[in-house]
Structure 1
């Protein structure tokens, strides 16, 4: 499937609107996230590998905030467990439509993949079945901070013994110098991937009010408060990280 380049912020905008996951973003999202998130392909592929450790027979694997289904595809490639299925949930109709297209293309390329259901819904209200694995891959940061604890508590309650939550997020850092250094290096990463100063500045303006990152310490404290017993960071590249939370 052809993946057009991300040029959404390449021209000056009289007023930069808040970032939304609309059809324009869905169209260029594969290119956007690969050029914007350091380590993204590694995170996605290894979520599939890690899932093989936690997925259990007769259970559901959730991809919450699935966007175009990259994590769902990785789960289906790597998990081969009896009577296991994936439910991918996103609240963007544009993302859900394209996610279904990508998964249909995956079905045509591979055999014996896990069954998958793609649902357009708000994950804050979506009922969770007993699950051995839940993924929030760069999703929690787009949820209002005051709504995050309740979501994590519901996920914890849905997880089966021996299951896991895999949470990937952009991080901020309490140490101002460390935060500034990693932010500057992230900008350098985007420059190296072909984004102009205008694109970087306008994207920052669009996203700063809708994506609200936490520190690793805040994530750990919130997850423990939600009932998780252990939080294990397993990947970090610049100011982007992924962690495993165990029930």
Structure 2
């Protein structure tokens, strides 16, 4: 499918509205995420690889905040475990509609893929089924902070023994010099991917009120408080990281 370039913030806006996952974002999302998140393709593909080590028969594999289903596609490519199923969930109707199209296209390219169900729902209200793998790929940072621990505790309760949560997030840093350096490097990454100073500034204004990142230590403490026994960082590129949390 042809990738449409992200030009959402390319022209000056009188007042920059808060970022939402609407139809305009959906149209350009593959280009936007690749040019905005360092290491994104590596994270997505390896979530599938990691999941293949934890997936158990007769269980669900959740992709929470699935957007266009990139993680769901990786799960289906890599997991060969018998009688697993992928459950992809997002609260954006525009994302869910396009996600279903992309996963249907994947069906036509590969044989014997895991079955997948795409749900439009609030993951904080979801009725979870027994799961061996749960992926939260750049999703928790959009959940209100006061709801994050409860969501993680519910995920912990639904995970089967031997399962895993894979959590990817943008990080913030307690050390001000470290924070500034990695922020500057992230901006340099965006420039190198063709974003103008105007686009970078307007996107920052749009997203700062809706995306609230935590530090690595905050993630670790919250996961342990939610009942996980071990938290293992497996990837970091600039101020973006991914963790494995074990029940």
Aligning the two structures, in what range does the TM-score lie when normalised by the shorter sequence? over 0.9
2:170 alignment counterpart: 170
The residue aligned with 1:51 is 51
Which residue is equivalent to 1:128?
128
Q: CA deviation at 1:233?
A: 0.1
The ranges of structure 1 where at least 4 consecutive aligned residues each deviate by more than 6 angstroms after the TM superposition are none
Counterpart-to-counterpart distance in 2, 1:162 and 1:211: 31
2:144 maps to 144
Render the CA deviation track for 1:157-182: whole Å, top value 9, x for unaligned: 00000000000000000000001000
TM-score (norm: length of structure 2): 1.00
Separation of aligned partners in 2, 1:110 and 1:52? 17
2 CA distance for matches of 1:19 and 1:245? 29
Q: In the TM superposition, what whole-angstrom CA distance separates every residue of 1:105-163 from its partner, at most 9, and x where no partner exists? A: 10000000000000000000011011000000000000000010100000000000000
Q: Does 1:35 find its partner at 2:35?
A: yes
Please state whether the residue corresponding to 1:165 is helix, strand or coil. Answer: strand
Are residue 236 (structure 1) and residue 236 (structure 2) matched?
A: yes
Match of 1:76 in 2: 76
Superposition RMSD on alpha carbons, in Å? 0.3
Q: Identify unmatched segments of 5+ residues in structure 1.
A: none
Q: Distance in 1 between the 2:147 and 2:84 partners?
A: 29
For residues 202 and 102 of structure 2, the distance between their equivalents in structure 1, rounded to whole angstroms, comes to 29
SS in 1 for 2:125: coil
SS at match of 2:124: coil
Aligned length: 247
SS of alignment partner, residue 203 of structure 2 = helix
| Deviations 1:3-62 (CA, angstroms, capped at 9, x unpaired) | 100000000000000000000000000000000000000000000000011000000000
- After superposition, residues 81-100 of structure 1 pair within 5 angstroms as 81-100=81-100
Aligned counterpart, 2:63? 63
Q: Which residue of 2 aligns with 1:102?
A: 102
Gaps of 5+ in 2: none
Match of 2:88, SS? strand
SS in 2 for 1:172: coil
1:190 equivalenced with 2:190 (yes/no): yes
Map of 1:211 onto structure 2: 211
User: SS of the counterpart of 1:124?
Assistant: helix
Which whole-Å CA distance do the structure 2 matches of 1:2 and 1:234 have between them? 32
- Could you say which residue in structure 1 is the equivalent of 2:246? 246
The offset of 1:229, in angstroms, is: 0.1
Structure 2 distance, partners of 1:198, 1:144, is 28
Q: TM-score, normalised by structure 1?
A: 1.00
Q: Distance in 1 between matches of 2:93 and 2:76?
A: 22
The whole-number CA distance in structure 1 between the counterparts of 2:171 and 2:160 is 28
